[in-house]
Structures are given as C-alpha cells and as structure tokens.
Chain A
Amino acid sequence: MLWLCLQFPKLPLEVLTRAQRDGDRKTAQAVVEEQLIVDANRPAAERGVETGLTIATACALCADLQLLQRDTRREEQQLQQLAQWGYSFTPVVSPQAAGSIDAGDNRFACLYLELSGCLKASGGLQPLLQQLKRELRQMRISTFMGLGHSPSAARMLSQLPEHRQWLRETGTPPTAQQWRQWISFCPSKLLDCDNKTIAKLYACGIKRVSQLLAIPLSEVGSRFGRGFVDYLARLNGGRHDPVPSYTPPPEFHNELFFPSPLDNSEQLLFPAGRLVRELCQQLQRRQLYSQQLRWKLDFGKRGCKVFSVETSRPLLDPQRLIALTRLQLERLTLEQPIQALTLTCDRLHPLDQQALDDDLFGENTALQRSHQLLDRLQARLGHEALSGVTLRESHLPEQAWASADTLVLQSGRNRKGHQLNPVNAPRPTWLLQRPDKLQSREHRLFYRGEIKLLQGPERIDGYWWQHGRHGRDYYIARGEEGGLYWVFQDLTSEDWYLQGIYS
C-alpha cells in the first residue's frame, strides 16, 4: 500500500478567493471565524496578520484588511470536488474535513489517495506527483503532501519538512525499512493526538517517535490509554488503518464565490471558463458527457437566476462550451450584483464511441458543423426560436403538419418505422396561422381585390362525430393580381375563409 496525503492548509481562504483574477490579489484579505483570524493571504501575512489573532489586533496591524466570514459548507463542497478530482487518478480516495476552530482542533482538510495501483499508468511516482501539483496549481489550491504506507503515516510525514524535501526529489517509492526510519525520525509533536497527550509525552522526555517506540507497548498503554497504542500500531503498519472510501456522485456541481460582487456579465466569463474547464476534465476522465449545463447566478439574499446551455451532441471541448455560454451571457441583463456562480450537470451519460463528434480524421464534418450551428443558434436565439416541420396524419389541413423539435432534424436519417405520405392533391406551400375570413358580397369574394374561384370543391369533412364539426368545401382561387389562393367555405356557417397561399 502506498498512501499519499494531500493537506490543504489554505482551503478556508482559497474557496473564497479562488475566483479572483491576479490583479485583485493585492488587497489584504483574511478569513475570520468566531472573532479569530483563521487564515490570511500573502499581502496580509506580510503585514503581520496571522492565524489565531483577534480581529481587533489584525485590523490594528493592517487597516485596510478585508475580512471574509469563513464558510465551512463551501469548504466541504470544495473538498468533495477535490475528492472527485482525485478519483480520476485512483479509485481509492478518502477526503477528511478540517477540524473546527472552536473545538481547539486545527487540523487542515486533507485528501488520502492510494497510489500503488496507478503508478504504472501515470508513468512512475515523480511524474504523477508533478501532475497532481500542476493541476492543483491550476485550480488555485495550495497543498503539501506526504507519502506513507498507511494513511496515518502519510499524514504525519506530510508535516515533516525533511520528508517533503525528500519527496520532491525521489523517483521510487521507499521500502518498508525506510518508512520505519522516517517515522522514528519524526518529533513527537507531529503525532495525531490531543494537546494533553503531547504535553505528557514531552514531560516524559519523549521528543522523538523513536524514543516512544523503544518503550514496550504495554507500558505505553498503561500511561497513554488504549487508543494511543492503537494509533501507534496503525502508524507503524502493525494494524489496518481504515479510512472511509469515497464514491463519486453521478453529477457535477461546482461553485465559485466572489468576495466582491460582480455587476457585469463580461466579468463572468473568466470564472465561467474555469468552471467549464474543470467540468470537461472531470467528464473526460470518467468518460461521461452532459447535454445540459445549468448555470446559476446567485445574487445573495436577492434571489438567483438560472439559465442552461444545451448541446445537441456530446461536447467535451471547453472552448466551444465557453463560447456557447458566452452567447447566453450576452443575452442577460444583470439587475443585481452576482455573489456566486454555480455550474451543475445532473444528468451525466456514459460516452460511447459513435456519439463523439470529434473525429480524428475530420470525416463527417458537414454533420458536425450543422450540430455546432444548431447549438450556436439555440444558445443565442433561445430554444423556442428554432423549429422544424413534420407531417401528421389528419384529414384536417391545419392538423396535417406539426412543428417539430429541432432534435428531429438530427435523428431524421436513422429513424425507421411508419413513413407518412402527404396527400396526393395540390396543397399550398404557405398555410395561414388561422383561416382568414373573406369578405363576400353578392356571391363575390374579396381578398385584396376580388378573387375568382378556379377549381373545386374538394370536400373535407372531419370530426363530424365530435361536437365541433369541420365540414368544408375547398376551392383554388385567383386574386386580381394573379396570386393563387386556397379558400374554403364552412358548411355549417356558410362563411368563406382563406387558408393557404400557392406561393
């Protein structure tokens, strides 16, 4: 077993400031919880603001300090997100949340990854560690890591500077003998136990773990309790060290928070791009796709706005998804400043090979381009502005066609089954939205001048068994200017109507 422990010391700050551009990072910012500073960014730290100070002291040190309330819910979400990210490397992942400050527990949030199964696929230990670091840097999450043969050991060693230095240079995972040496070398204050136990250890003169391991276990047990002996055994590898295993949910959900609310949709593009890239990475690794991206603009207490970007085909190209999102954003007018941006995809489908448009050899490009065009049009004009037409089986002319969803456009060629045939009679190319009543005087009909009947009648009598009977005599008529019209006389009311135009 080879466990990697990734600790996230700056998570409370980073979940709140991750969405900022580089230019905004010059203001001093600090996260507070219960009147105490939890974390501070670099400009603030340079002026002496550090963890554990009270707000009053911190503000005295740095007058223009921006205080952000700690949001543990958001941290938890981010940790889940990171676990999902880690899941793309190895199937054995376990996230552990940070301790809360009021319980006196200042452990950082961390993530355990079991690496022994994925070294080969990633090209060895060092390339894997480099990749992990690089991707975390892209996500703007700072981390330090430790490697161990059990999660507890990995966690303890991640706190040891010498071990981290060694990890930066090593190329091969160490042997069991080396683990023992590393563990023995650790100072006792790094042990994962409460402050009282550590004080007790130091009072006994035990400054290093090696000294502790030299004492017979029964004596350690009588002094520090059974739990401590258990912990030592797990640390040493003498006992199993179980951690809760993580299974990824079948959806993507991520949120970016803006410390200073945005009031311009242009500014949204940068954080939106970051979310889309994270989504695409995630989807590609799990071989899934989503046809709908749901964006939520959170106005804080003043409600929220939801819009969705739909793609007609599986799309894993972040650039194109961002372009589609941009088209939607351009249509929006923001009434309120935005506090957070959320991206949700709740229906992820497994990707099959035929479904993906990105053909390596550029075949089928016409079809691909038509999908892209449809997506673009849909994103800017809205779903309702696009339609197609299909045939329907009906005697009534106005019911012999139906407005089709644009998706029918796609499946048209593959669809099999009942094929409808149009009626074998001259029908007009244009149909009026609803029949237009004609003026009639002394057996003469008028529509932009007098019209004369040429042919007819063709009787269409439908739904006589129902309440509203449709009995009509259809004629082809010509207007004064030569236009050909399709007119009918209602048999019950004897009124004349114009229904179509032979254009």
Chain B
Amino acid sequence: MSNAENILQNKQLSEDSRHQRLSRLLARPDIWQAANGVSPENSRRGITTGYAALDALLAGRGWPRGATTELLVNQSGVGEMSLLLPALAEMTRREQMVVLVNPPFIPYAPALASAGVQLEKLLILHPRGHKDELWAVEQSLQSGCCGALLSWQGRQAPVDKDLRRLQLAAREGDCSHFHFRPASTATSPSPASLRLGLASDGEQLAVKLLKQLGGRSGQQLHLARNPDLTRRDRPLH
C-alpha cells in the first residue's frame, strides 16, 4: 500500500470517528439543537403521553426519557394524575417499576387498575424527613430499574443543587422523573428539561408549556377530561 493511500484511509477513519462522536454528543438530552428544529431522528424519542395533542407539542413526541419533568399544579383534582396514567400504565406493562414518593393521598387501587396500571409494579415510599426523601429519590432514579418516579414537593422546597442532582440521577438511571410542585415556583429557575403548568379551565385541563429543552415553549393546550366524569346530570339541588 502506498503512503498516500494510507494517509487517505487514516483521514477517513478519523473523520468517521469524529462523526460518531458528534452524533453521540447530539443525542444527549441536554443539548438543545435550535437550528435543526424538531425532527424525530435528531431528538430522542420520548415516552408517548397517550394524548396525541400533547405529544405533538413535546420535543421527543412524548415525555422526556431520563430527565426531570416538572408539573406545576396548585391544587389536586384538576386531572394531573390522569395526564400521567397512560404512560405509567404502559411502563408497568413493560415490567418497569413505578415509584411514588410521599404521595399526598392514598393512590386508590381500583382507579389505577382500571387505568391499566399493573399494581405489582407500583412501589410507594414514605420516607421520613427531607434528607431521607432526597436519598430515596436519588437511589431509585439511579437504580436503572424504575420506569418513572413521581415525587411531590413537601413543605421544604428542594434547593437548586438537589434538583440538579436528581436530574443527573434520572439521566444515569434512564428513568423519567415527574416532580409535582406548586405553581408559585414557576418564576424560579429550574434544571428540569420540561416544565408544565397545569390548571383547570372550567371543564378542561389547561396545560401550559413553560420550558422545554430542545423545543419551543409558551404554547397552551386544553385537554378534555374523561367525559364520564364531567357529564352533567339533571341538577338535584
């Protein structure tokens, strides 16, 4: 083989490896590619939410994988859990664990089962104290065996450093972390890759995209609630 050929081949090889490295870098969820827009092959596929209208707005066509999603909601009852239930049910069917850390009320088994959640894969944690809670969340996120982890902000708001750590843990364990926080935290910065503000708009659930890594934000979306619930009977009183 001549010298020139050799050099040419080497050059090609190094270009190949550089290209590989670049594509690996671009595949990272925390790299925002503004120029390319949102195309399915460039962004990581998310976990489908079960709501086509919401999927269309999200960068990965679904909930981001291995990242924190913040759901800002002031009052439970607006339909925030039913937003997640289709994705959670899908995960439990795929034998992935779903962990609920300090849920505000009792997760009601009949409702979850009829939504398709495999109850055996559901783990509910009630750690005592803020420190234990953070530890448990981090451990579960890192473990790599959980599909999703839902946590609720307690009395003590987690500091920015902790949120960053949880985001990293979620990426490490490839687990979707859904963090419920009060709407008042919308103005404070957060490392989460997706932030949604949830509120009720009369009969519908109003979803507002506050922040989205690798995608546009600021859109509003109205999702109808289960018609079985909102159907109005003849008023009694």
List A residues at the B interface (Cβ < 8 Å): 366-367, 369-370, 372-374, 376-377, 380-381, 384-392, 397, 400-402, 404, 406, 408-409, 411-413, 421-424, 426-433, 443-444, 448, 453-456, 476, 478-479, 481-485, 500-503
Contact = CB atoms under 8 A, between A and B. Distances in A.
Contacts of A381: 125-128, 132, 136
A401 B110 contact: yes
B127 to A, nearest CB: 5
Interface stretch (B4-12, B47-55, B229-237): B229-237
A422 B114 CA distance: 6
25 contacts: A366-B95, A370-B146, A373-B97, A373-B143, A373-B145, A377-B139, A381-B132, A388-B124, A400-B109, A401-B106, A409-B121, A412-B120, A422-B110, A423-B114, A427-B111, A431-B106, A454-B230, A454-B233, A456-B233, A482-B78, A482-B200, A485-B77, A502-B79, A503-B78, A503-B81
Most buried by A among B77, B106, B121, B127: B77
User: Top 10 nearest A-B pairs by Cβ distance?
Assistant: A482-B200, A483-B77, A412-B120, A401-B109, A430-B105, A422-B110, A370-B145, A503-B81, A427-B111, A373-B143
A225 B137 CA distance: 78
B112 interface: yes
A367 B97 CA distance: 10
Interface in B45-93: 74-82, 85
B10 to A, nearest CB: 36
B78 A388 contact: no
Contacts of A376: 139
A428 B105 CA distance: 11
Interface of B: 74-82, 85, 95-97, 103-115, 118-128, 132, 135-136, 139-140, 143-146, 199-203, 225-226, 228-233, 235-237
Nearest to B232: A454
Given A388-B119, A455-B229, 4 more contacts: A385-B128, A401-B110, A426-B226, A501-B77
A484 B79 contact: yes
A96 B232 CA distance: 87
B132 A380 contact: yes
A387 B107 CA distance: 11
A401 B113 CA distance: 10
Contacts of A413: 95, 120
A441 to B, nearest CB: 12
Contact of A453 (B109, B114, B202, B236): B236
Nearest to B124: A387
Contacts of B237: 443-444, 453
Nearest to A394: B110
Most buried by A among B82, B96, B109, B145: B109
B109 A390 contact: yes
A87 B111 CA distance: 56
Given A381-B125, A455-B232, A482 B119 contact: no
A484 to B, nearest CB: 6
A487 to B, nearest CB: 12
B225 to A, nearest CB: 7
A424 B74 CA distance: 30
B237 to A, nearest CB: 5
Contact of A386 (B118, B119, B125, B145): B125
Given A401-B108, A424-B114, A369 B77 contact: no
B132 A453 contact: no
Nearest to A454: B232
Most buried by B among A384, A388, A400, A424: A388
